[in-house]
Structure 1
Amino acid sequence: MTRSIITALLLLMIGIPTLSSAKNITLTWDPSQDPDVAGYKIYYKAGDQSLPFNGTGLPQGASPIVVADPSRNSIDLTLPDDGQVYFFAATAYNSLNVESGYSETVASAWIPLLISPADAGAVAASVNLVWSRAPASYNVTYTLYYGTDPKLNPATAGLMAPPSSSTPPLSPAIALLALLALAGFAISRMKGITGYPLRAGLAATACLLVFGCGSDGSVTGNSTGGAAPSPLYTEVVPDLTDTQLLLYDLEPGQDYYWKVVAVDDQGNSYPSATHSFKAQ
């Protein structure tokens, strides 16, 4: 029976500029206390903290980078000077390649930390979103993303059921019958032809126009037969210099998501994690 192993914990990152326009960093983690630990795996990804950490492009290899020596608790990595923030997490694995969960995630540069509200917490009808301020040397502004879309896609649009129509649409067949009836009426007036067949044809056409060929005379529309789904949307608030924003009039029972992206004067982005809260 395989035992679970203790998750490795990344503790420290140290960036050291080099002459090759790249950046060397050292990742350090707490060794696993499991006697069967066989090594560690370092997962990474550039640009955001969403799983999976499936990054590529580092000289040391694609994610995960395997450290096959259980006595080691650090690794030196070289990052390209591409303006990206790289995110890292470690796992420990044993002799049967059973792997622990991810450690705490760390980043290659400062990123905004979402302070309040607590992730997955409950809030009232209004909430003050608070995040950490960048060091003065970063010279950043903040863009806040929030809404009901878990992915916080700025292009998200509301997905509402179409409203039911009180007037049924005129089908091509009914329109054709109406035109034929009008043509027949015009011809009969020209030739002085009157009588029951024509009147019956007009009556039938009128029935089709009014009732839409329904068996019970009811109007049919585009009803979905149920409640409309909650709309998904993302609000974007750019060019913030403060590190908090008060939101009003939240919908009770609705889950909301938010994140902050800091951008410096060189165009480099520093994205936070995405947190959620529920309005009460």
Structure 2
Amino acid sequence: MNALKNILTAQQLTSLRTAIVTIIAALMLPAAALGADVTLQWDPNSEPDIGGYKIYYGTAPRTYGEPIDVGNVTEYVVKDLKAGAKYYFAATAYNTDGYESDFSNEVTWGTPAPPVMRIGHVDRVVINGDASITIAPGAK
């Protein structure tokens, strides 16, 4: 440990502190900051030959990716949406012959943005036990 302390310059120690604080901050982020889930619910189609529903969504109005066939249910959770983004959703119904309805009304939802974490100055770094540290000059 003393040998490590003697070879670190002030700039390298600052870089090490920044790296450690960044790693700790990343570990402390809540799962919601990494993405979000949204639960969609709709009224059932009254047709006797209903086969199921498809969910469409994207980040621009009426511009969707591939649909999600959710089967014959009236609730579905779309998972892992990008934090801080606005999404547009629509649904269709299809019958047992595979004929698909027009799109439902479109609804929008904005996922929460990740929290901003402010981290103060780090006075020291304590390492208990053995440590192997690589510091690149000028790293931040």
TM-score range for the pair, normalised by the shorter chain length:
0.5 to 0.7
Matches within 5 A, 1:1-280: 19=31, 21-46=34-59, 48-49=60-61, 51-54=62-65, 63-68=66-71, 70=72, 72-78=73-79, 79-81=81-83, 83-109=84-110
- State the aligned residue count: 81
Task: Give ranges in structure 1 of 5+ residues lacking alignment.
Answer: 1-17, 55-62, 111-265, 267-280
Residue 144 of structure 1 aligns with which residue? none
Matched-pair identity in %: 37
Alignment deviations for residues 77-103 of structure 1 (CA, whole Å, 9 cap, x no partner)? 12122x221100000000111011110
SS in 2 for 1:42: strand
Task: Give ranges in structure 2 of 5+ residues lacking alignment.
Answer: 1-29, 117-140
- Relative to the length of structure 1, the TM-score reads 0.27
Cα distance, 1:108 vs structure 2: 1.5
Task: Give the Cα separation in 2 of the matches to 1:98 and 1:52.
Answer: 21
Task: Give the Cα separation in 1 of the matches to 2:87 and 2:63.
Answer: 13
Q: 1:22 is matched by which residue type in structure 2?
A: G
- Structure 1 or 2, whichever has the larger Rg, is 1
Task: Give the Cα separation in 2 of the matches to 1:24 and 1:100.
Answer: 26
Cα distance, 1:41 vs structure 2: 0.3
Cα distance, 1:67 vs structure 2: 1.1
SS in 1 for 2:47: coil
Q: 2:37 is matched by which residue type in structure 1?
A: N
Residue 6 of structure 1 aligns with which residue? none
Alignment deviations for residues 204-227 of structure 1 (CA, whole Å, 9 cap, x no partner)? xxxxxxxxxxxxxxxxxxxxxxxx
Task: Give the Cα separation in 1 of the matches to 2:109 and 2:99.
Answer: 28
Cα distance, 1:109 vs structure 2: 2.4
SS in 2 for 1:30: coil
Alignment deviations for residues 31-82 of structure 1 (CA, whole Å, 9 cap, x no partner)? 1000100000001111x20x3422xxxxxxxx200012x2x1000112122x
Cα distance, 1:24 vs structure 2: 1.3
Cα distance, 1:105 vs structure 2: 0.5
Give the helix-richer structure, 1 or 2. 2
Give the strand-richer structure, 1 or 2. 1
CA RMSD of aligned residues (A): 2.0
